Amino acid sequence: MNLRPALLPVGLLLAACSQPPAATAGPATTADSASPAADGPANCRHHAPRALELALDGVTSVSFEVGPDTLVLTGQEQATGQLSGRACAASADLLDGLQITQQREGDQLRVKLEAPMRQGLSLGRERYAWLDLRGSLPAQMPLSVQLGSGDVRLTGTGALQARVGSGDLVASRIGGPVQLTLGSGDVQIDNANGLAATLGSGDLEASAITGAVELTVGSGDVKLHGIGSLSIPALGSGDIQAGQINGDVSIGSVGSGDIQLQTVTGSVRAQTIGSGELRVDQASGSLQVQQLGSGEVKHNNIGGDVQLPRKP
């Protein structure tokens, strides 16, 4: 999953700008090759530095609104926070509209990556604009991220609430639980204390989750390894693969999707399997399925009782 410099945002903010075509670069308005996040494409026609010191006095959590931008945040042993990098746009007018703003709301600091709104037609002209930023926050600071079509990478932060449209999110060493709502994007999570996720058509990979995991999945795909107990209230047509589950597995309804479980330290219980498939390879407890449609249940090396309904 590569961090991308610019994509279309989801519909909350920034209807602004699409990624530029691969064209020969023109002269830049402002050179900023030394900026910490100056790794955008070579044809960044107009660019300028951007920086912001975060006003964190009395703040207990920080929220970020990100559109087609790139944001890399690291938790550090410090009481301060800052962002720096560059703005990149197809024109000087679009460049001027690329700003970082912050606003205090109670004990939460709201940080917004602003971009100019699209107005009218571009008439064949290149039209792109995004921010490419890196920054730091106090370690274990709880975060809320609302991401459109851009890319966010988090390391060493606190509890995380994330809403992702079509963008990419990578989060590691999260010092608390993760709450995720995912549209069509991609998310990777490594080392967190619990995970609750609702997926549309996006893909999720998670590992080293010490707490419980709860998943509601439409048509997306999920891969899990090294987690606590697992609850799947509903699965549509997506696929779930989970291994090294340290606890029980509870499954509500499965449509046409598939669930593969490997090495479960506990029991597996499912209410309804439609036309999909449930496969369990090694569980120390029992396996129980209450209702089974045209789908299948396959199992191997189950330590306890196996109770399966007769197929209609």
For the stretch 211-228, pLDDT in tens is 999 999 999 999 999 999
pLDDT band at residue 117 using 50, 70 and 90 as cut-offs: low
Of residues 11 and 152, more confidence is placed in 152
C-beta separation of 226 from 210 below 8 A: no
Q: What is the pLDDT of residue 170?
A: 99
- In sequence order, the 6+-apart residues with CB closer than 8 A to the CB of 170 are 1, 152, 153, 154, 187, 188
Tokens 């709201």 map to which residue? 110
User: In this model, does residue 37 exceed pLDDT 90?
Assistant: no
Domain-embedded: residue 3:
no
Which of the two residues, 286 and 44, has the higher pLDDT score? 286
Residue 52 within any structural domain of the chain: no
Average pLDDT, stretch 63-91? 97
Q: How far apart are the first and last CA of the chain?
A: 43
Q: Flag whether pLDDT at 30 surpasses 60.
A: no
Residue 35 is predicted with a pLDDT of 35
* Nearest partner of 131 among 69, 192, 77, judged by Cα: 69
For the chain, give the mean pLDDT: 88
Give 4's Cβ-side CA count (13 Å radius): 20
- Residue 31 resides in a domain: no
pLDDT at residue 43 in the model: 62
Q: Which of 218, 236, 217 is nearest to 274 (CA)?
A: 236
What's phi and psi for 93, nearest 5 deg?
A: -65, -45
Range of the domain at 198: 61-77+137-307
Q: Is residue 256 part of a domain?
A: yes
For residues 294-312, average pLDDT: 93
Mean pLDDT, residues 271-284 taken together: 98
Do 264 and 283 touch, CB atoms closer than 8 A?
Answer: yes
Q: How many domains does the chain divide into?
A: 1
pLDDT at 106 over 70: yes
29 has pLDDT over 80: no
24: burial class by Cβ within 10 Å (0-12, 13-18, 19+)? exposed
Q: What is the DSSP letter of 9?
A: P
Considering the domain boundaries, does residue 145 fall inside one?
yes
In a domain, 217, yes or no: yes
pLDDT given at position 174: 98
- More confidently predicted of 32 and 82: 82
Q: Tell me, yes or no, whether 166 lies in a domain.
A: yes
Mean pLDDT along residues 137-164? 97
pLDDT of residue 310: 83
- SS3 assignment, position 45: coil
Rounded Cα distance between 49 and 18, Å, is 21
What average pLDDT does range 41-63 have in this prediction?
Answer: 91
Q: What percent of the chain stands above pLDDT 90?
A: 80
Assess contact for 56 and 142: CB atoms under 8 A. Answer: no
Residue 21 has pLDDT above 60, yes or no: no
pTM of the predicted structure, to 2 decimals: 0.85
Q: For residue 24, what pLDDT band results from cuts at 50, 70 and 90? A: very low
Q: Is residue 171 part of a domain?
A: yes
Give the whole-number percent of the chain exceeding pLDDT 70: 83
